[in-house]
Amino acid sequence: MRGEHDGRADRILDAAKELLLRWGYRRVTIDEIAKLAGVGKGTIYLHWRTREQLFFAVAAREAVAMLDAVAAAMRADPDEIMLHRYMRRFFLEAMDRPVLRALFTRDAETLDKFLSSPARRPLEGAKLIASRDYLRVLARHGLLRAGLRPEDLDYSLPTIVFGFFAIEPLLPADVPLGLEEKAGHLADTLRRTFEPERPSAREPAAGEVVEIFERLSRDFEDAAYGGKHGS
């Protein structure tokens, strides 16, 4: 069932994505998207109720790709479920995907009003970064500092991660750090702040965690293609 869309929705999303990255949110019109996708304008409205929903779907599809990459990496190496490893990959994957990078770095040039539009809400860091379920599993398996409860992270964790994204457009051009190094600093901060010095084994938790991210991915996929009926 997964990924067996008729392809038309994806052609439209491809067109929207390309134009978004080329011209920025404000300058892209539905007519252009329809033309590039080779469909009538009305067809787009068979898939999504508004322009906003359409662009939300563009971003949601990117999130799906990212989450799938995350889940795959966790399957290949259980260590990858550790909070600091996950956020390291999260940072790298997000920065490698122009749409997500624009979203997380709050690139106003590209996203303009979409940044403050309500449709963007479900993409807010919180859900992706700090899925309560994921943190709960980590805590239960001794992969968070003793005594640290999932809700204790509600504020700090997204705030720290947000800082590493949001600082990007403000960095002077001559910062001698690559993405990998930045991700490393982020990971180091999270590991020291939230993880135990001697964490338990990861394997017992890996299955559950992978499942959580797979489910999250499906949720975003549904949200992307089902925008017509969604909230």
Partner DNA sequence: CTGGTGACCAATATAGCGTTTTGGTCACGC
Partner DNA sequence: GCGTGACCAAAACGCTATATTGGTCACCAG
Give me the residues that bind a second copy (CB under 8 A), please.
155-156, 158-164, 166-167, 170, 175, 177, 182, 185, 188-189, 192-193
* Cα-based distances in Å from 159 to 50, 133, 146, 187: 31, 19, 21, 14
84 is an interface residue for DNA by CB under 7 A? no
Instruction: Kindly give the interhelix angle for 51-76 and 8-23, rounded to the nearest 10 degrees.
Output: 100
Cβ-based nearer residue to a second copy, 30 or 108? 108
Cβ-based nearer residue to a second copy, 166 or 201? 166
* Cα-based distances in Å from 46 to 5, 16, 39, 228: 14, 15, 11, 7
| Amino acid of residue 65 | A
149 is an interface residue for DNA by CB under 7 A? no
Among 21, 36, 39, 108, binds DNA (CB under 7 A): 39
Return the one option of a second copy, DNA, none that residue 72 interacts with (CB less than 5 to 8 A, by type). none
116 is an interface residue for DNA by CB under 7 A? no
Q: Which two tokens stand for residue 4?
A: 């067996």
40 is an interface residue for DNA by CB under 7 A? yes
46 is an interface residue for DNA by CB under 7 A? yes
Map residue 131 onto helix, strand or coil.
coil
42 is an interface residue for DNA by CB under 7 A? yes
Applying CB under 7 A, the span of 25-33, 64-72, 162-170, 219-227 interacting with DNA comes to 25-33
Return the one option of DNA, a second copy, none that residue 89 interacts with (CB less than 5 to 8 A, by type). none
52 is an interface residue for DNA by CB under 7 A? yes
Q: Minimal distance in Å, beta carbon 183 to a second copy?
A: 12
Tabulate helix, strand, coil % of the chain (nearest 5).
75, 0, 25
Q: Which of 231, 230, 223, 228 is nearest to 67 (CA)?
A: 223
Contacts of 160 (CB under 8 A, 6+ apart): 186, 189, 190, 193
- Give yes or no for a contact between 87 and 190, defined as CB atoms under 8 angstroms apart: yes
17 is an interface residue for DNA by CB under 7 A? no
Angle subtended at Cα 74 by Cα 131 and Cα 121, rounded to the nearest 5 degrees? 30
Cβ-based nearer residue to a second copy, 47 or 191? 191
- Give yes or no for a contact between 107 and 165, defined as CB atoms under 8 angstroms apart: no
28 is an interface residue for DNA by CB under 7 A? yes
Residues forming the site for DNA (CB under 7 A):
8, 26-31, 39-43, 45-46, 49-52
